[in-house]
Amino acid sequence: MSASAHLKLAIVVPAYNASKTIERVFARIPPAIQHQIVTYIVVNDGSTDNTAAVLSRLLQGYPNVLTLHHDVNKGYGAAEKTLLRCAVETDADVVVLLHADDQYAPEELPQLIEPFASGEADIVQGSRMMEGRAARRGGMPRYKYVANRGLTAIENMTFGLQMAEYHSGYMLYAKRALREIPFEKLSDSFCFDQEMLIMAKVKGLKIVQRPIPTYYGDEISHLKPIRYGLHVLSLVLAYKRGYYHAL
C-alpha cells in the first residue's frame, strides 16, 4: 500500500455547461483511490445547458456527491471559492480540483497525491509543460503553447519560482494550505489558480509540480486568450506593487 493511501480526499468540480463531459470525468477517477474520497462537491455555475439534469443523474451512482448551484454564471474563480469554502469544512486532508470539461486526466490522481503523504508539498499542480514538447503532441494549439512559455518566463522572473507553468488548472491543496491562503480575497476570474500559486509563494508554502498528459478534444473553452494574458500581466504588476503581500 502506498504512503498516500491513508489520505482523505475531497474532489471539487466547477461545472459550467458541462453536460456532455462531466460524467466521463467521474468515470475516469481510478477505483484504487475511491475509498479515500470522502466527498465530491460540484458547483453548477449558472449553466444554461443540461448540466443540472446530468448532476441529478450522477447522484444515483455517487451518493457522496454534494451539488451546489449558482443561479447565474459568476465566473471560474467565484465557482472555486464556493467549492473551497465548502471543502475546508469536510474532514478531507487534500482537496483536489478537477475540471468538468474532461481535459485533465483523473487517472493521474494517485501520483499527484503522493507528495502530500511525504510532507513534500502543501500544493501540487499537475503540469503539461514539464516534459519537452509533450503538450504540443497532446494537441495544445501552438499559440497557447508559445503564450504559456512566454508568460511563465515572466512570472518566474517576477515571483522567484522555477515553475514549468502557471496555467494548468489541475490543482491539489492540503487543507492547511487553504486555511493559510485568504482565497476569498482573490479574483473571480480564470486567473484564480495563478493567484493561489502567488499566495503560496507569499505564505512560504511548498509547491510541487508533477507531469500530466495534455489532451485537447472537443470540449468548449470559455477562456478568452487575450483577456486572460492581459489579466496574467496585471497579476505580475500587482505582485510587484505589493498587493498580494498585503492580503
Residue 214 confidence (pLDDT): 84
Residue 221 confidence (pLDDT): 55
Domains in the chain: boundaries: 3-246
Residues of the chain with pLDDT under 50: none
The SS3 call for residue 70 is strand
Residue 222 confidence (pLDDT): 59
Residue 194 confidence (pLDDT): 97
Q: What confidence tens digit (pLDDT) does each residue in 117-176 have? A: 999 999 999 999 998 788 888 888 898 899 999 999 999 999 999 999 999 999 999 999
Q: Are 8 and 36 in contact (CB under 8 A)?
A: yes
Q: What is the CATH number of domain 3-246?
A: 3.90.550.10
Cell digits for 26?
Answer: 467521474
Residue 63 confidence (pLDDT): 86
Sequence-separated contacts (24+) of 46-52 with Cβ below 8 Å: 46/16, 46/70, 46/71, 46/72, 46/73, 46/74, 47/15, 47/16, 47/17, 47/18, 47/19, 47/73, 48/17, 49/17, 49/18, 49/19, 50/19, 51/15, 51/16, 51/17, 51/18, 51/19, 51/22
Exposure b/e, 56-91, CB count within 10 A at least 16 = b = eebeeebeebbbbebeebbbbbbbbbbbbebbbebe
Q: State pTM to two decimals.
A: 0.94
